[in-house]
């Protein structure tokens, strides 16, 4: 399930990346006075001439409209994906968090308290497997979210370069569409799934581990006192 979700999110990331590349390419061909793209026409070995290459406003408008429709479809797909997998991802991340906390604690207990290296390695490999799944989910969601934010940046760059009023109006509509329809993957709306979640998990796991270690040390101290009393 985690692989299906992460693979689909990565496909969304790739589609958003294509949109951003097309916006960047179109932005360099907008009719502006301060920024022009030149195509080189070589007719001799070391002699070149340059020719200004600009796109008409009608062509740019058509491209923007197409990109808006594609972007809207991608946002719909991301929203449907989040609705379908939201609860499963919440359960998955919760279980992996609990497993990680206990695995780290028992790794410490087996190695430093009992001195059993083979059991320590067993728990250590469980930690690696769980963290691979956590990183797979969080990193792919972070990449897709980052590309969706980059789309807004590319639109505003194009907006600054354009001098045509119709193109600027269409870009403003595109900007409003991006603002009102952001891509954000969440676990049932409780928290966003991105790179920040990794540090949140690490901080929470450290807190719980310290509490568990304090209880373990307290139990060991009570056992020592009880043995001394019996003797």
Q: Does the structure show a pLDDT above 90 at 124?
A: no
Mean pLDDT of 33-42: 44
pTM for the full predicted model = 0.77
pLDDT at 177 over 60: yes
Confidence (pLDDT) at 208: 83
More confident position, 138 or 210: 138
d(CA 230, CA 63): 85
Token duo for residue 27: 């932005």
Among 107-111, 193-197, 202-206, the range with the most confident prediction by mean pLDDT is 193-197
β-partners of residue 52 are 38
Checking if the pLDDT of 228 tops 60, the result is no
The pLDDT score that the predictor gives to residue 231 is 53
Residue 126 burial (10 A CB sphere; 0-12, 13-18, 19+): middle
Q: How does pLDDT run across 139-150, given as a tens digit for each residue?
A: 999 999 999 999
Decide: helix, strand or coil at residue 226: helix
Tokens of 5: 């979700």
Confidence at residue 161, expressed as pLDDT on a 0 to 100 scale:
83
Looking at residue 54, what is its pLDDT?
A: 64
Poorest-pLDDT segment among 30-44, 76-90, 92-106: 30-44
Cβ neighbourhood burial of 157 (10 Å; 0-12, 13-18, 19+): middle
At residue 190, the 3 state secondary structure works out as coil
What pLDDT, on a 0 to 100 scale, did the predictor assign at position 76?
96
State mean pLDDT over 104-123.
Answer: 78
């Amino acid at each position: 399930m985690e692989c299906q979700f992460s693979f689909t999110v990565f496909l969304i990331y790739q589609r958003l990346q294509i949109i951003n590349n097309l916006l960047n390419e179109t932005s360099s061909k907008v009719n502006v006075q301060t920024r022009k793209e030149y195509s080189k026409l070589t007719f001799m070995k070391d002699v070149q001439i340059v020719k200004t290459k600009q796109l008409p406003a009608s062509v740019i408008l058509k491209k923007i409209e197409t990109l808006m429709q594609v972007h809207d479809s991608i946002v719909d797909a991301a929203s449907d994906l989040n609705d379908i997998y939201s609860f499963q991802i919440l359960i998955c991340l919760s279980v992996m968090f609990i497993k990680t906390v206990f695995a780290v604690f028992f790794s410490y207990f087996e190695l430093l308290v009992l001195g059993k290296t083979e059991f320590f390695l067993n728990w250590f490999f469980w930690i690696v497997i769980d963290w691979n799944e956590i990183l797979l989910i969080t990193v792919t969601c972070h990449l897709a979210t980052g590309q969706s934010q980059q789309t807004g940046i590319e639109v505003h760059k194009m907006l600054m370069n354009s001098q045509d009023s119709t193109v600027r109006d269409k870009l403003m509509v595109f900007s409003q569409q991006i603002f009102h329809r952001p891509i954000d993957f969440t676990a049932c709306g409780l928290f966003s799934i991105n790179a920040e979640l990794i540090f949140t998990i690490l901080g929470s796991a450290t807190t719980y581990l310290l509490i568990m270690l304090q209880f373990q040390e307290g139990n060991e101290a009570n056992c020592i006192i009880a043995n001394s009393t019996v003797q």
